[in-house]
Structure 1
Amino acid sequence: MQILVDVMGGDQPPEELVRGGVEIGRLREMEICFAGDGRQIDHAIRSCGERPGRRFHILPCSQVISMQDAPVRSVREKSDSSMVRGLRELRNGTVAAFVSPGNTGAVVAASLLVLGRVRGIPRPAILAPIPTLAGQDLHLLDAGANADCHAEHLLHFARMGSAYAREVVGVDAPRVGLLNIGEEASKGSRLMIKSYTLLEAECPGFRGNIEPHEMLEQRPVDIVVSDGLIGNICLKSIEGGVSAVTGLLRRSIKSSAAAKLGALFMRSVFRDLRYTLSYRERGGAPLLGVNGVVVIAHGRSDAHAIRNAIDSARREVEAGLTECIARTVPPAEVADGI
């Protein structure tokens, strides 16, 4: 198996991402291809004690799609970017999966333009893992690929998320919830009300509406579906809340000698908490519904995070996730309006 990593689009330098790729390549005994500036990648591979061309390969590219670039325009104008070239390798079957910490909108746009959608899937969706008090992640989709959705889109998100839970996570009968402002079927916007009715009729694992606090505290379902706007707001609110609580703890600990002493005795607790909440441990979010395994890593991904993102991609390839979605999700007409 060979997995391709776009090392040019994230916040960290290519050397940092190459180091993570080399580490996981050694651990899993698989081939890694790095797309980007050939000289920088060659130097980074050699700095890790490896030589290009054996297990670790280089796809030299002359262009970079930055975080500030307009997604669709940059994909069309920067055909020699590491992102576009990497996805072409995936389409051609040269590599088994594509991983990028770059511009999320550009990854979605490029995946649609280069790979295309799985037959019967009207919209792809980003699936994001959410840590919970139950100790097991819950998965939210869509986490930002589609701001405007129809109820039929959310039904497809539920089916794709269920396929992921079964094939990758190992949940025999995935439970699905609809992210909303209350438990009653009549709550929410017209989209939410129509989605509830459709999911109740067409999704065997549907368990009703789920409020945001339930996701973290109770984990009543395995998969939570939403349109990309609400899903992304929810995800970023959770990330901001975690950062705020962490900052408050640091400030409180520094406030007195007694607090500092107490913190020494709780180091293992804080370490476990940091591990549970860290995006670095989850690696990335798969883009479901396109013809190939695509994992969008966090823009701030370092070597450890990109290593886990690559490992996530490996598990999805081994599970045959794309093929499973193609087999189990029936084609459906998407309504013109709500």
Structure 2
Amino acid sequence: MVKIAVDMMGGDNAPDVVLEGIQMLLEEYEDVEILLFGDKNKYHLNHDRIQFQHCSEVIVMDDEPVRAIRRKKDSSMVRMAEAVKYGEADACVSAGNTGALMSSGLFIVGRLPGVERPALALTLPTVDDKGFILLDMGANADAKPEHLEQYAVMGNVYAQAIRKIDRPTIGLLNIGTEDKKGNILTREAFTLLKAKDQLNFIGNVEAKDLLFSAADVVVTDGFTGNMVLKSLEGTANSIFKMLKVQLTKNVKNKLAAGVLKKDMNLVKDKMDYSEYGGAVLFGLNGIVIKAHGSSNGRAIFSALRQAKETVEMNVLETMKREVVQND
């Protein structure tokens, strides 16, 4: 039985969508339990596989991360992270304040031995439906070459265990595919990664090729990774808005839109990375997953399912072993 701690109060649409996602998970799987933290006045589920614990405080989106986890000791997010730290839960999921969740992971759950900087990893969609893992998504704005090397090792473990890829291709995000391209960080990281025979490192990849399955795992610093994520989000939203404007301009276009509506919705769903789950904070001594702040019930369900699968595939133990071996 997998036990997942959940922050009921985290996210733009909490707690309703969080409870909706939990209900979906419990209906789908019989081998999972939920340790739920939140406001008892807003809790309305009644299930024998939910253990509810009331919290008197909430960390909101505009709270300063470190100060919030230090001052709001009885918040749903802090209590959730403590459940993982003390072995009361196998994993935790929150759609709340990203910075506070990362701080909770670092200062409460703690880092894996040998990991210098944890990384936020997210699986993003591709044209061929394979998807790829991008890290770091913003846990660390600055990085050293050795950090990118560790990101590649951890991403490799996750891709094998969760994405079921025997020998994942590893790419280094850069401004060109040539070996000597980039700044000091990418050139030195390239040298480290090329020397790691246990990784299937294919070299540099460019941002324009990411959605065309340039690699199964793509590593970069958190500043660049976060920029890439937001650029992809913004581009996808802009395209769909432009299409909507064009398809509602006149009667002819509206008729065409009616015919294409189902297919357009399929394309939109395909670009929704929340279907893959949340962002995993790699490098912690526990499984911490960040669902998107604007998640709906389905996205919360996907993040919870991801947590369950990550526990079942012993990803944490494998990462511990691989990081030590490659230290």
TM-score (norm 2): 0.96
**CA distance, structure 1, for counterparts of residue 326 and residue 194 of structure 2:** 17
**CA distance, structure 2, for counterparts of residue 284 and residue 310 of structure 1:** 8
Which runs of structure 2 are paired with 1:231-250 in the superposition (5 Å)?
231-250=225-244
**CA distance, structure 1, for counterparts of residue 304 and residue 292 of structure 2:** 12
**CA distance, structure 2, for counterparts of residue 220 and residue 89 of structure 1:** 38
Query: Could you list the per-position Cα deviations for residues 53-100 of structure 1 after superposition, in whole angstroms to 9, with x for gaps in the alignment?
Result: x21121211111111011111111111111111011111111111000
Aligned residue number for residue 290 of structure 1: 284
Aligned residue number for residue 84 of structure 1: 78
Aligned residue number for residue 336 of structure 1: none
Q: 1:141 to 1:280 in 2, by over 3 A?
A: closer
TM-score (norm 1): 0.93
Aligned partners of 1:163 and 1:325 also within 8 Å: yes
**1:312 Cα shift?**
0.7
**CA distance, structure 2, for counterparts of residue 198 and residue 283 of structure 1:** 30
**1:252 Cα shift?**
0.7
Which runs of structure 2 are paired with 1:64-83 in the superposition (5 Å)?
64-83=58-77
Which runs of structure 2 are paired with 1:213-228 in the superposition (5 Å)?
213-217=208-212, 219-228=213-222
Aligned partners of 2:37 and 2:76 also within 8 Å: yes
**1:196 Cα shift?**
0.8
Query: Could you list the per-position Cα deviations for residues 284-309 of structure 1 after superposition, in whole angstroms to 9, with x for gaps in the alignment?
Result: 11111101111100000121111111
Pair 1:171-2:165 in alignment: yes
The gaps in structure 2 that reach 5 residues or longer are: none
Q: Counterpart amino acid of 2:323?
A: V
Aligned residue number for residue 310 of structure 1: 304
**CA distance, structure 2, for counterparts of residue 282 and residue 104 of structure 1:** 18
Q: Counterpart amino acid of 1:35?
A: F
Aligned residue number for residue 207 of structure 2: 212
Return the match for 1:36 from 35, 38, 43: 38
Query: Could you list the per-position Cα deviations for residues 211-234 of structure 1 after superposition, in whole angstroms to 9, with x for gaps in the alignment?
Result: 0011112x1310000000000000
**CA distance, structure 2, for counterparts of residue 205 and residue 10 of structure 1:** 37
Return the match for 1:126 from 105, 115, 120: 120
Report SS of the residue matched to 2:52: strand
Considering only aligned residues, what root-mean-square deviation do their CA atoms show, in Å?
1.3
Aligned partners of 1:126 and 1:143 also within 8 Å: yes
**CA distance, structure 2, for counterparts of residue 157 and residue 207 of structure 1:** 15
**1:34 Cα shift?**
1.7
Which runs of structure 2 are paired with 1:84-163 in the superposition (5 Å)?
84-163=78-157
**CA distance, structure 2, for counterparts of residue 16 and residue 271 of structure 1:** 21
Report SS of the residue matched to 1:248: helix
**CA distance, structure 2, for counterparts of residue 151 and residue 279 of structure 1:** 28
Q: Counterpart amino acid of 2:33?
A: E
Aligned residue number for residue 6 of structure 2: 5
**CA distance, structure 1, for counterparts of residue 263 and residue 190 of structure 2:** 40
Q: Counterpart amino acid of 1:33?
A: L
Q: 1:332 to 1:135 in 2, by over 3 A?
A: closer
**CA distance, structure 2, for counterparts of residue 288 and residue 25 of structure 1:** 26
**1:332 Cα shift?**
6.6
Q: Counterpart amino acid of 2:208?
A: H
Aligned partners of 1:22 and 1:32 also within 8 Å: no
The farther-off stretch of 7-16 and 76-85 is 7-16
Aligned partners of 2:169 and 2:215 also within 8 Å: yes
Q: Counterpart amino acid of 1:206?
A: F
Q: Counterpart amino acid of 2:242?
A: L
Q: Counterpart amino acid of 1:4?
A: A
Aligned residue number for residue 229 of structure 1: 223
**1:245 Cα shift?**
0.3
Q: Counterpart amino acid of 2:5?
A: L
The farther-off stretch of 235-244 and 125-134 is 125-134
Aligned partners of 1:10 and 1:102 also within 8 Å: yes
Query: Could you list the per-position Cα deviations for residues 126-157 of structure 1 after superposition, in whole angstroms to 9, with x for gaps in the alignment?
Result: 11111111221111000110101100000000
The gaps in structure 1 that reach 5 residues or longer are: 334-338
Report SS of the residue matched to 1:75: helix
Aligned partners of 1:120 and 1:332 also within 8 Å: no
**1:275 Cα shift?**
1.4
Return the match for 2:189 from 184, 191, 195: 195
**CA distance, structure 1, for counterparts of residue 15 and residue 26 of structure 2:** 16
Aligned partners of 1:151 and 1:192 also within 8 Å: yes
**CA distance, structure 2, for counterparts of residue 168 and residue 12 of structure 1:** 28
**1:269 Cα shift?**
1.2
Aligned partners of 2:248 and 2:257 also within 8 Å: no
Q: Counterpart amino acid of 1:267?
A: K
